[in-house]
Amino acid sequence: MGAYFVLGGGGGAGALEDDGPHKLATPATVLSEYKRTTKDGATAGNDSTSELEKSGVKNAKSAAALYSTVDLSDYDPNDPASAAKMATAKTLSVAGAYGEIADPEATLDLFFANFKKSADKESSTGSGKPELVGEPEAADLDGAVMKCQSVKGQDQLTKKEKTNWFCAWADYSTLAIVSPGDAAQGVTKDVAIDLTTKARKEIRVKA
């Protein structure tokens, strides 16, 4: 599998096995410590679903959720104890679609290309939006193709600039992006790969 990613060989989707239809769920808790802070059944919105269909997800239905290791609902920036708790927060943002995907590799590439277009458009407005760094890098994920990329932006809490990595995977029925956050520090590529790999096992369920 590693050689296939290094060579980036054509027709590589054949290296994946289709394990039947799956969908994306948003359980109340993932990875034991991340609690969902958004409503159950939230979607990525009609525009995003339409974009995901353009990437190659047929009959796409979307799912999205934000998870955090601390309760964000009672955050008070004027309370030192509340601010101290928030400084330890770790978050996990999950968004994606499920349906039928004929070519996971092509779909993932198209997803990143569209993602870059939209990010470039936002950053050109000078609104301080996060900026993509470098190109997507392939990473090993059993049963799917996965790529990860780094993004540079300002931390909402500390106002300091930091670099985080996020990953996206595609298989024959699901396409999802997992973006981890850590109030205390930037998220490395290895951490993003590890969290995405573990989260996939919990949010990708049989349809």
For residue 12, tell me if it sits in a domain: no
**Residue 6 scores a pLDDT above 50:** no
Retrieve residue 69's tokens: 């290791």
Domain that holds residue 31: 2-6+20-206
Instruction: Find tokens 């330890």 and name the residue.
Output: 88
Residue 73 lies inside a defined structural domain of this protein: yes
The CATH number assigned to the domain holding 36 equals 3.40.1000
In a domain, 42, yes or no: yes
Q: How many folded domains does the chain comprise?
A: 1
Q: Are 207 and 110 in contact (CB under 8 A)?
A: no
pTM for this prediction:
0.88
> For residue 11, is it within any domain?
no
Q: Look at residue 14 and tell me if it is in a domain.
A: no
Q: Is 202 inside a domain boundary?
A: yes
Instruction: Decide: 25 and 63 in contact? Cβ < 8 Å.
Output: yes
Question: Does 15 reside within a domain?
Answer: no
Q: Considering the domain boundaries, does residue 13 fall inside one?
A: no
Q: For the segment 143-171, what is each residue's pLDDT rounded down to a tens digit?
A: 999 999 999 988 776 778 899 999 999 99
